[in-house]
Amino acid sequence: MANKFQSKERRLFGVGIQGWIKGFFSGNAGVSMGVIFLIFLFLVFEAVRFFPDHHRELKLVRRTGQEYVDFLRREARGYQEISSYTNQAYFQELDARFGVQRGLVDGFEVLQGMIEDGAEPEIEALAEARDVSDPVALRAAEKRYWGRVGEIVDSAERSSVDSFGRLSTEESAWQSLLQAARRYDAVEEETPDLILAAEARTESGMAEFRKAKTMISSAGSDLKNLRDRLVRIASATRKDAETDYSLGMRKKALLEGSGKLDGKAREEQIAEAEALKVLDQFPFEVRVQPIIDSHDEHQKAVEHLKEQLKKGIAALPTEFSSEASKKLVMKIREAEPAYLEALDQSLEEASEWTWNEEVNWSSSVSRFFLGKEWKTASGGWRQLYGFLPLFTGSVTISMIALCFALPFSIGAAIYVNQLSSRWERSFMKPAIEMIQAIPSIVLGFFGIMVLGNMLVEYSDSPWVSWLPGFPITQRLNMLNAGMLLALMAIPTIFTLCEDALNNVPRSFSEASLALGASRFQTVQRVVVPAAISGILAAVLLGLGRIIGETMVVLLVAGNRIAMPDWGDGLGIITQPSHTMTGIIAQEMGEVSEGTLHYRALFLIGLVLFVVSLLINLSAQKLTKRLGAHV
Amino acid sequence: MIKKTTTAFALGLLFSLPLAADPEKLVIMGSDTLGSKLVLQLKEAYMTLGRDTEFEISAEGSSQAFANLLAGEADIGMSSRDAQEEEANRFLAKGKKLVEHAAGWDMIAVIVNEKKGVRKLTLKEIEGIFTGDIMDWSELGGKPGKISVYTRNTASGTFQIFQRLAMGGRDYSASSQKLAGNEQIASEVAANENGIGYVGLAFIDKKGLRAVKVDGVSPSPKNKGKYPLARKLFFYTAGEPKGSVKKFLDWATKSDAAKEIVAKVGFISVK
Amino acid sequence: MSKSFGRNYKAVKAGNPFDSGGRGRRWRDRLGTGVFAIFTYFILACVFLIIGKITLTGAPVLFQSEAPFLNTEFFSKSPMTLHEFEDGEGNNCRLDHDRFVDFKKNNPNAVIKNEQTHSNAGGGILGPLVGTVLLVVLCMAIALFIGISTAIYLVEYAKEGRITNTLRLAIMNLAGVPSIVFGLFGFAFFCLSPIFPVFTAVPDWEKSLLAIPLWPSDGYLSFQGWGSSLLAGGATLAVMVLPIIVAACEESLKAVPEGFREASLALGATKWQCIRTAVLPYAAPGMLTASVLGITRVAGETAPIMFTAAVVTKGKLPWENSEGSGLYWLSSVLTQKVEALPYHIYSISKLQSNEALDEMRYGSVLVFLFLVIGFAMISVVLRSRYRKKLKW
C-alpha cells in the first residue's frame, strides 16, 4: 500500500503546489484584511471631502447675502414665540371668562357648515326659486329646505358639534343654539342674533386684552415683511449663481468631450458649448447690494418692533381668571428683557456683517459639529448641516435605554450567576440570550403597533401621570424607542456580566462564606466589586449596541430633527427625536452621489464608526484590567 | 472521475452557451404618494394584461426619482412635484434631459385627528402651524395642547410642494416630525389628538381622521380648480422614453383602464 | 477593588463585618435576592409578552383548521393589493388581486360597490422570503469562503507577528461597528465603485470603467459596479458577518490538538494534506456552528440591505426574469434587486392599520421571527452537541 500522504511535487511558475495553496489562503486573508481597512478608508474618503464642500457652501451663503437674512429670520423667530404665547394666553383667558359664548359661536359655525354641506341641493333650489319669485315653487323649495335643516340639526350630536365641551353642561345654551340653527337661512347667510350677541359680549369683555394682543401681533409686521422681501432676493441670487455654476460645468464637459470627437460632430459640440452663456464672475457684489442697503430699514423695523412690543407687553392685563393664561403672561414678561437684548445684539452683528469677508476654515468644521439645525438640500431656504440635534437624540435615547437596561441586565446576571437555583439557571440563561436573536425590525414593529399605543393609552392614568413628560400624546417618542433598545441591550450586557462574574475566582466567595457571610452579602461585597471592571465593560458594549441600532429608532423615535426642548426638564424623554443612524437610513436613498448631503451622511457614518471603535477599545482595556487584578 | 465530470459540466455551463442578453425590467423609483398605491396597482394590472415585463418599484420620495434617474439607476421616476431648477441643472450638466409625463392630479389634504374640533383652516393658519409660528391649538381657538406637526421626509415631493403652496416657501418648524410616507402620517395623526399633517387624496379615507377645509374648500375631486393645495403628479424619464418604458408609460398615462385605476385610488386622472 | 477590600479588612478587625444581626440580615438578604429575581423574571415576562402577542395574532394567518393546516397561499404568493368591496347582495368581499381578476372574468356582470383597495394587504410573502433566503445563501457563501480561508491562514500558516495581531484587532473591533455603517460602505463600495464586473449584453457606458468584449458571444464583461443588487447586498452582509466567522473558525481550528498535526506531518504529509485530513474534519463542526450563528446575525438585519439590495415591490421571482445563458444568466439573476423579508416588514409597518393588513403584518413578522430564532436555536443545539462530542 502506498503512503497516503505521498505526492508528486509539481511546479508552476517556479512555485510548488504547497506554495500556491499557501498563496491562496494568504490571498484570502489579504482580501478580508483589505476589506476591513477599506471600510475605514471609504468612510474617511467620502466624509473628509464634506468639509471643503461645506466651506464652499458657507462662502456662497455669505456672498449671496443669505447669511445676513438669517439675522432677520432669527429676530423674527424669537418674536413669533412671544406672539404665540400672547395668543395662547388670550384664548385661554377668553375660554375661562366667556366659554359659553365661545361655545355658541364655534358651535354655530360647525352647524352652519353641516347645513351647507348636507343641504346643498336644497339650498341651490331655494336660491333659484327666490330668484324666479314663483310663489308655488318657492313654497315647495322652502318646505324642503327647512325640512332638511331640521333633520340635520336633529341629527347633530353635542359631542361632535361642541367638540371642546364648552357647552357640555350648559343645557339651555345648547338648546338655544339648536333653535338658532333651525332658523338659519343658508341663502341669505344671516348670522342669528344669539350668536351676534355672544360675539359682542366677548368682544367688549376682552377689549383690553385684545388691544394688547393686537399691539404685540402687529409689532413685528415690518420686520416680517422685510424678511420676506430679503429672502426672495437672496434666494433668487442663490438660484442664479447655482444655474451659472451648472452651466459652466456643462460647458467645460462639452469642450472636454469635443476633444475626443472629430469633424462635424466636434464642431457641433463646440458650437453648443459656446452657445451657453456663462458669466466669468458671478456679480455677487451687484446682487447683494439691495440687501446691504436694507440695513437702515432693518434697524428701523427692529426699533419699531421693540417699541411696540414693550408697549404691548406693558398693556397686558395683570388680573386673570385663568391660571394657564396667568402663567403664560408671566413667561412673556420674563422672556422680554432677554429678547430685547438679543435683538440689539443681533442688530449689532448685522451691522458688522460684510458680504465679501473670507469664511474661516474652522467654521466649516464647527458649523457641522456644533450646528443645531439640520436642513437638507430639498427645497427650503438654505442647507444646514448641524450634527448636534442628531447626536443629542442618539445620546438621549441611549441614556434612556441604559437606565432601563442596567438594573435589569446586571440584576439578572447576578441572580442567574449567583443566587438562582440550578433549575432556574437552566432555562433563564438561554432564554435571555435568545433575546439577542430577535431581529431589531421585529422590535420596531412591536413598538409602532403595540407599545406606542399602550404608552399613550395608559400614560394618563393617575398612577403614572405625575411622571415627567406624562401623559404622552404621541406614540412615537424617545421613551418608546429607549425601552425597546433596552431590551436589545439586555442580552449583551447580561452575557458579558455573567462572564465577568464567572471569572471571579471561586476562592473569593468561598473565603467570604467561610467568614460567615450570607450568600447575598458575598455577592454584594465580594463578587460584584471583584467583577466591577468586567461589568463596566459589559455596560460599554451594551451602549455600543444601542447607539448603533437603526431600525428601531427609525421607526419608533419620531424623527424630529431638533434639539430637545430643555424646558420640559426630564420630560424630554417623551419627546420625539431623530438619531445619527436614523438619518442615514432615511436620507441615503434620496441623495445623488457626490453632493454635499451625500458626504454629510458619510461623515455621520464615520462618527458612528469612530464612536463604536472607541467604545470597543475602552471595553477591551477594562477587561484587560480585570485580568490583571484576578 | 466525478470530479472531472463536475469540472467539465461547470465549464460547459459557463462557456458553452455564450448567449448574451439582458432581461427586460422597469425600475421605477420616487414618490411615495404615487408609489405606495397607484403604481403598485398599475403594475398589477399591467402584468395581468400578460405583458412580460418585470418591475422593481421603490418609493421613498420624489427626490429619489431625480437622484436615481440621473445616476441611471431608474428607468422611470415618480414625482409628486415638478423638477426643481437645481435638479434640471444637474441633468443639464451631464448632458441629459428630463422629460415629464403627467400621471394625474392630486390635492394635498391637511388632516387632523377626528377628536379635534378643527374643521377648517385658512392658508394663513396652515402656514403658521407648519412654520412653527402657531405652537398651540388654543391659538386657533381650540382646546389647549401643543401641536404635533407631522410632515413627510425631506425626500418627499409633497414635503416640498406643500412648502411652496401653503407656506410661502418658508422653512418647516424645527419641531416637525419627518415621517416616511403618507400612510405613516395618517396613522400618527389618527393616533394623536394634537396631531396635524398632510397627505395625498388617496390617503384621506381612513378612520380617525378629518381632512379640514382649506379656505372653505374641502379636498375632493369635485372641487378641482377651487382647492388651493392642488398639484400635478408626474412620471419622469431621462430622455424620451423608448421600448418597454414607452410602452408602459403610454399605457399608464393614456389607456382607459389606467385612468379607471387612477380614479379608483383617489386621484384625478388627466384629460 | 483593593479599596473595598481594605475597608473590609478594617471591619474584620473590629469584628465580623458580615454579622449585622440575625433577623434583620436574613430579611435584607431575602429582599435583595427577591429584587434581583423580580428583575430577571420581568425580562423574561417582557420577552414572553412580545413573542406571545406576535404569535397569537400572527398564527391564525399562517395556520388553518383543515389539512394541510398551513396557509399555503401565504407562502406561495407574493404581496399584492387587496380589493375590498360589496357585491350585489351587499356581502362584504375581500379578494386579493389575482382572485379579483378571476372574479371579474368569471362574473362580467357582477356588481362591485364601494370598492376600496389596500396595498400589500393581500397575497403572501413568497417574494420577500425568497429574497431573504437568496441574500443569506449568497452572503454565507462569500463569507465562509473568505472567512475560513482567513482563519486557516491565521492559524496554520501565518507567523505570529504584527500583521496577524493587527488583523485580529481589526476583526475584534469590527464586530461592534453599527450595521448601518456597513450599509453605507457597501453602497459606496459594491454598488457604486466601478471595480466590480458584471456580464451584460449592453454595458452602461457612462459608468463602465472598462468593458471587455467576450468573443464569441456578443456580450461584455463590464466593470461598472454591481449597482443595488442581490450581489451587492450579499457582499455587504458578508463583510458584516466576516468578523464573526473568522473569529469562530479560528477558535475551532485552534481547538484541534497540536498532536493531530504533528502526527500527520510526521507521517510525511504535506502541509495542505495535513490541514485537509487532520485538521479540517475536526474543526468542521465548530465552523458549522459558526456559520449558523452568522446566519442568525445576517438574516435579521435590515439596515445594510436598505440601499444595497432591497426593493419594495417586484413583479417576479429573481430567476423568473433572467435572460441569456451561462455567466450571462447568472449575472442577470444576481444583479437584480430583491424583496427581503425584513425590509418588507419595515415598509408595511408604516402603513395605516386595517384588519386585512394587520393580519398580513403579524403573519410576516411571525414567520420572520421564527425563522431567525429557529436558526439561533439550531446554533445553540449544535454548539452543545459539539462540545459534548469533542473531547480529547
Do A148 and A233 sit in the same domain of this protein? no
Spatial neighbors of A22 by CB under 8 A, at least 6 apart, are C157, C271
Q: How would DSSP label each residue in C270-301?
A: -HHHIIIIIIHHHHHHHHHHHHHHHHHHHHT-
Q: Is residue A15 over pLDDT 80?
A: no
What share of chain A has pLDDT > 90, as a percent? 18
In a domain? residue A397: no
Do A86 and A56 sit in the same domain of this protein? no
What separation in angstroms does the CA of B12 have from each of B252, C95, C179, C326?
Answer: 43, 47, 39, 8
Minimum mean pLDDT range among A428-442, B184-198, C104-118: C104-118
Q: Best-predicted range by mean pLDDT among A72-81, A467-476, B116-125, C136-145?
A: C136-145
Residue C9 pLDDT: 45
Do A450 and A567 sit in the same domain of this protein? yes
> Which tens digits make up the pLDDT trace of A354-373?
888 888 888 889 989 998 88
Do A506 and A624 sit in the same domain of this protein? yes
Looking at residues A531-541, what average pLDDT do you find?
Answer: 90
Q: Does A39 touch chain C (CB under 8 A)?
A: yes
Q: Is residue C7 over pLDDT 50?
A: no
Task: Give the CATH superfamily of B106-230.
Answer: Periplasmic binding protein-like II (3.40.190.10)
Do A235 and A286 sit in the same domain of this protein? yes
Q: What's the CA gap between C97 and C113, in Å, rounded?
A: 16
Spatial neighbors of A192 by CB under 8 A, at least 6 apart, are A108, A180, A183, A184
> Which tens digits make up the pLDDT trace of C176-223?
899 999 999 999 999 888 888 888 877 777 777 788 887 767 778 888
In a domain? residue A5: no
Q: Is residue A628 over pLDDT 60?
A: no
What separation in angstroms does the CA of A354 have from each of A59, A65, A295, A319, C317?
Answer: 12, 9, 12, 48, 61
**Mean per-residue pLDDT over chain A, rounded:** 84
In a domain? residue A103: yes
Contacts of A554 in chain B (CB under 8 A): 180
Which pLDDT band holds residue C89 (cuts at 50, 70, 90)? confident
In a domain? residue A400: no
Q: Which amino acid is at A545?
A: R
| Identity of the residue in B13, B16, B40 whose CB atom sits nearest the CB atom of C313 | B40
> Which tens digits make up the pLDDT trace of A285-337?
888 888 888 888 888 888 888 888 888 888 888 888 888 888 888 888 888 88
Contacts of B117 in chain A (CB under 8 A): 106, 110, 162-164
Contacts of B187 in chain C (CB under 8 A): 350-353
| Identity of the residue in C117, C206, C314 whose CB atom sits nearest the CB atom of B41 | C117
Looking at residues B239-263, what average pLDDT do you find?
Answer: 88
Antiparallel, parallel or unpaired: β B25-30 and A384-385: unpaired
For every residue of chain B, which 3-state class applies, written as one string?
A: CHHHHHHHHHHHHHHCCCCCCCCCEEEEEECHHHHHHHHHHHHHHHHHCCCCCEEEEEECCHHHHHHHHHHCCCCEEEECCCCCHHHHHHHHHCCCCEEEEEEEEEEEEEEEECCCCCCEECHHHHHHHHHCCCCEHHHHCCCCCECEEEEECCCCHHHHHHHHHHCCCCCCCCCCEEECCHHHHHHHHHHCCCEEEEEEHHHCCCCCEEECEECCECCCHHHCCCCCCEEEEEEEEECCCCHHHHHHHHHHHHCHHHHHHHHHHCCECCC
Fold of B21-105+233-265: D-Maltodextrin-Binding Protein; domain 2 (3.40.190)
State ipTM. 0.88
In a domain? residue A410: yes
Which pLDDT band holds residue A550 (cuts at 50, 70, 90)? very high
Residue A571 pLDDT: 83
Closest CA to B236 of B63, B40, B45, B105: B63
Q: Is residue A194 over pLDDT 50?
A: yes
Q: Is residue C248 over pLDDT 70?
A: yes
> Which tens digits make up the pLDDT trace of A487-503?
999 999 999 999 888 88
Residue A268 pLDDT: 79
Are the beta carbons of A411 and A524 closer than 8 angstroms? no
Residue C1 pLDDT: 40
Q: Best-predicted range by mean pLDDT among A137-141, A391-395, C27-31, C266-270?
A: A391-395
Do A195 and A299 sit in the same domain of this protein? no
**Mean per-residue pLDDT over chain C, rounded:** 83
In a domain? residue A9: no
What share of chain A has pLDDT > 70, as a percent? 95
3-class DSSP state for residue A504? coil
Which pLDDT band holds residue C13 (cuts at 50, 70, 90)? very low
List all chains that touch chain A, counting a touch as 3 or more CB pairs closer than 8 Å: B, C
For residue A588, what is the domain's CATH number? 1.10.3720.10
Which pLDDT band holds residue C42 (cuts at 50, 70, 90)? very high
Cα atoms in the 13 Å half-sphere on the side-chain side of A249: 13
Q: Does C227 touch chain B (CB under 8 A)?
A: yes
Provide the domain count of chain A: 4
Do A89 and A104 sit in the same domain of this protein? yes
Are the beta carbons of C184 and A584 closer than 8 angstroms? yes
Minimum mean pLDDT range among A462-466, A600-604, C7-11: C7-11
Do A486 and A600 sit in the same domain of this protein? yes
End of a domain among A385, A415, A442? A385
In a domain? residue A2: no
Q: Is residue B236 over pLDDT 70?
A: yes
Cβ within 8 Å, pair A32-C8: no
Q: Does A456 touch chain B (CB under 8 A)?
A: yes
Closest CA to A414 of A425, A398, A400: A425
Minimum mean pLDDT range among A271-285, A515-529, C257-271: A271-285
Do A241 and A381 sit in the same domain of this protein? yes
| Identity of the residue in C227, C228, C312 whose CB atom sits nearest the CB atom of B57 | C312
- Residue C28, classified by CB atoms within 10 Å of its CB into exposed (0-12), middle (13-18) or buried (19+), is middle
Q: Does B176 touch chain A (CB under 8 A)?
A: yes
Q: Is residue A629 over pLDDT 60?
A: no
Residue C390 pLDDT: 61
CATH 3.40.190.10 positions along chain B are 21-105+233-265, 106-230
Q: Does B163 touch chain A (CB under 8 A)?
A: yes
End of a domain among A385, A418, A438? A385
Residue A401 pLDDT: 94
> Which tens digits make up the pLDDT trace of A92-109?
888 888 888 888 888 888
Do A170 and A228 sit in the same domain of this protein? no
Cβ within 8 Å, pair B20-C321: no
Q: Is residue B44 over pLDDT 80?
A: yes
Q: Does B260 touch chain C (CB under 8 A)?
A: no
Do A193 and A230 sit in the same domain of this protein? no
What share of chain C has pLDDT > 90, as a percent? 22
**Mean per-residue pLDDT over chain B, rounded:** 84
Q: Is residue C130 over pLDDT 80?
A: yes
Residue C135 pLDDT: 93
Q: Does B183 touch chain A (CB under 8 A)?
A: no
Do A33 and A65 sit in the same domain of this protein? no
| Identity of the residue in B64, B141, B170 whose CB atom sits nearest the CB atom of A590 | B64
- Give the structural domain span for A453: 406-629
Fold of C126-389: MetI-like fold (1.10.3720)
